[in-house]
């Protein structure tokens, strides 16, 4: 019986970069990290594409909203090379195969309490007990204990060589004990550790944040943030163009030309748009028909035509923003011969939160129909599709997936999306050879060897034809001329930091 655990993934996610120059900065040379903000800067007006969908729970997609706005952070962060970097933990060491010790820096919660080992242990234990579990903890059992005045000891049931990477996940943000006072929900308002404190939320419409002056990384240069949640990409672009906003994320490519060149920044990301084919039921249970669908899709048209150059042609599950992948990539393994479609009807679905996806799906529909398939296309808001997709109710699904969002570990997305017990297995793939390759990669400690094992597993996944990578997305961020220090993060975990200002 395959286990499906919703991963709530589609929004970008967590942590303010902690090393100067971690990521590219829009509108100025300052990356926004550890900047000693000296003045009472203006408030930032920011538009995000995805409204809160889970009551700002830190355990799902809403965790991204909190991290991108500089509210939350965890023990570690991701640096520009995809390695674990210090955050609330200033250092760590491995103690045997199953235990790690993290030494905390001096930091304060936004409600005034100290970030102590006991507080961290309590916060992470709440995450391990959450139902459903955060995607970063899929298949992982943690025991967290305070050890002395500064050390947190984390023990895993099985060896976990990438635990520091895992703890960088936005869904593992550290919150104070007051955040868990209500046993029915986790409340991040005023209980996090980042440079900006969430002070009010107006449903799915807007939120207010004030600068947290006692932030360990330095006083933010902006006095606060007025955030709006605007799902319509054209509306975000219009609001930026008319001066209502300072920063607008995820500008649609169709609106890029409407902005001055100086106000748009495009960033290669670790997000890949793919066609997922249901391998357990419907027409694509037949590996030959999956191969036929893959052969019918001309991926060369998406980067230049649909994304108008704001994307890179498909290379695999991991795109060019994953800089180490290309030299380690190998040909797909185990691919079946293509069968000729015989008028098979395909139920294809996608969502409109990312405005290019309906057009991508329309092109896929036309290409499949040209090959002999009959295709019915369904387009809805993502929140109205996810449960059906995870339950395998669609034959095919166009998905934009950030391959390093949940943990920063390249193996994690393969385990989550393409193994029998994967928590986000929209493709419904259950293949013993794929599971074996992923399991071998998960056991590998050495970074370079783990990357190579991930690419071997990728070759097995691609050979199943349950996924057809279409294009690697570049994100367009709208930045007003007056704004400096916007964080252009390829992992989509951060947007504003201590140096973001106008």
Tokens 């029998």 correspond to 420
Residue 210 has pLDDT above 50, yes or no: yes
Residue 282 has pLDDT above 50, yes or no: yes
Residue 186 has pLDDT above 80, yes or no: yes
Give tens-digit pLDDT for 98-123.
999 999 999 999 999 999 999 999 99
Average pLDDT over the chain reads: 89
Say what the pLDDT of residue 23 is: 61
Say what the pLDDT of residue 240 is: 96
Say what the pLDDT of residue 470 is: 97
Instruction: Give the range among 11-25, 190-204, 320-334 with minimum mean pLDDT.
Output: 11-25
Burial 460-471, CB ≥16 within 10 A → b, else e? bbbbbbbbbbbb
Say what the pLDDT of residue 305 is: 92
Report the Cα 468 to chain-centroid distance in Å: 20
Long-range contact list for 52-56, CB < 8 A, 24+ apart? 52/201, 52/203, 52/204, 52/229, 53/8, 53/204, 53/383, 54/8, 55/185, 56/187, 56/188, 56/189, 56/198, 56/201
Say what the pLDDT of residue 35 is: 41
Q: What is the mean pLDDT of residues 230-249?
A: 95
Q: How confident is the model at residue 22 (pLDDT cuts 50, 70, 90)?
A: low
State percent of the chain over pLDDT 90: 71
**How far is it, in rounded angstroms, from Cα 19 to Cα 7?**
29
Say what the pLDDT of residue 404 is: 83
Say what the pLDDT of residue 191 is: 97
Say what the pLDDT of residue 316 is: 95
Say what the pLDDT of residue 274 is: 98
Do 412 and 16 meet the contact criterion of CB atoms below 8 Å apart? no
Say what the pLDDT of residue 31 is: 40
Residue 263 has pLDDT above 50, yes or no: yes
For 50, the token pair is 């995805």
Domains of the chain (ranges; CATH) run 24-260+481-488 (3.40.190.10), 269-474 (3.10.105.10)
**How far is it, in rounded angstroms, from Cα 223 to Cα 12?**
24
DSSP one-letter string for 250-319 = S--HHHHTTS-GGGEEEEEEEEEEEEEE-SSSSGGGSHHHHHHHHHH--THHIIIIISTTSEEE--SSS-
Q: How confident is the model at residue 448 (pLDDT cuts 50, 70, 90)?
A: confident
Say what the pLDDT of residue 328 is: 87
Give tens-digit pLDDT for 308-332.
999 999 999 999 888 888 888 989 9
Instruction: Give the range among 12-16, 65-69, 319-323, 432-436 with minimum mean pLDDT.
Output: 12-16
Secondary structure (3-state) at 399: strand
Say what the pLDDT of residue 50 is: 87
- State the number of CA atoms in the 13 A half-sphere of 483 facing the CB: 31
CA dist 206 to 4, 193, 250, 353, 398, Å? 32, 21, 17, 17, 29
Q: How confident is the model at residue 499 (pLDDT cuts 50, 70, 90)?
A: very high
Which range scores top for mean pLDDT: 53-57, 217-221, 402-406? 217-221
Secondary structure (3-state) at 396: strand
Instruction: Give the range among 4-13, 378-387, 441-450, 484-493 with minimum mean pLDDT.
Output: 4-13
**How far is it, in rounded angstroms, from Cα 370 to Cα 333?**
27
For 235, the token pair is 């509306």
């Amino acid at each position: 019986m395959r286990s499906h655990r919703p991963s709530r993934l589609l929004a970008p996610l967590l942590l303010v970069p902690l090393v100067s120059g971690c990521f590219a900065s829009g509108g100025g040379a300052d990356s926004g990290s550890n900047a000693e903000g000296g003045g009472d800067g203006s408030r930032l007006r920011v538009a995000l594409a995805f409204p809160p969908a889970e009551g700002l729970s830190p355990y799902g997609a809403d965790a991204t909203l909190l991290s991108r706005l500089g509210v939350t952070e965890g023990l570690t962060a991701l640096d520009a090379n995809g390695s674990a970097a210090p955050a609330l933990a200033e250092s760590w060491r491995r103690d045997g195969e199953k235990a790690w010790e993290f030494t905390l820096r001096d930091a304060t919660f936004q409600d005034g309490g100290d970030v102590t080992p006991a507080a961290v242990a309590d916060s992470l234990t709440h995450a391990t007990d959450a139902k459903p579990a955060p995607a970063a903890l899929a298949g992982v059992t943690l025991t967290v204990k305070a050890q002395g005045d500064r050390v947190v000891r984390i023990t895993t049931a099985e060896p976990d060589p990438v635990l520091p990477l895992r703890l960088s996940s936005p869904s593992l943000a550290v919150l104070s004990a007051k955040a868990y006072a209500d046993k029915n929900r986790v409340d991040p308002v005023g209980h996090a550790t980042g440079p900006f404190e969430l002070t009010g939320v107006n449903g799915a419409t807007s939120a207010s944040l004030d600068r947290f002056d006692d932030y360990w990384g330095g006083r933010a240069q902006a006095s606060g943030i007025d955030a709006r949640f605007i799902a319509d990409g054209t509306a975000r672009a219009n609001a930026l163009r008319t001066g209502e906003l300072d920063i607008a994320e995820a500008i649609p490519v169709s609106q890029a030309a409407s902005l001055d060149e100086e106000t748009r920044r495009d960033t290669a990301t670790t997000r890949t748009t793919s066609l997922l084919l249901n391998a357990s039921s419907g027409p694509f249970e037949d590996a030959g028909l999956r191969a036929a669908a893959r052969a019918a899709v001309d991926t060369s048209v998406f980067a230049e035509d649909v994304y108008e150059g704001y994307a890179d042609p498909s290379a695999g599950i991991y795109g060019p923003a994953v800089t180490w992948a290309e030299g380690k990539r190998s040909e797909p393994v185990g691919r079946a011969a293509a069968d000729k479609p015989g008028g098979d009807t395909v139920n294809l679905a996608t969502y409109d939160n990312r405005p290019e996806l309906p057009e991508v799906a329309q092109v896929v529909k036309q290409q499949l129909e040209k090959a002999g398939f009959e295709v019915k296309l369904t387009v809805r808001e993502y929140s109205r599709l996810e449960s059906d997709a995870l339950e395998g109710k669609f034959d095919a699904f166009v998905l934009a997936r950030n391959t390093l969002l949940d943990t920063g570990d390249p193996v994690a997305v393969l385990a989550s999306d393409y193994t029998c017990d994967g928590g986000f297995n929209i493709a419904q793939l259950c293949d013993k050879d794929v599971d074996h390759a992923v399991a071998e990669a998960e056991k590998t400690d050495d970074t370079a060897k783990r990357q190579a094992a991930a690419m071997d597993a990728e070759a097995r996944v691609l050979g199943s034809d349950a996924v057809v990578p279409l294009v690697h997305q570049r994100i367009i961020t709208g930045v007003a001329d007056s704004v400096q220090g916007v964080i252009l993060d390829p992992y989509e975990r951060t947007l504003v930091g201590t140096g973001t200002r106008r």
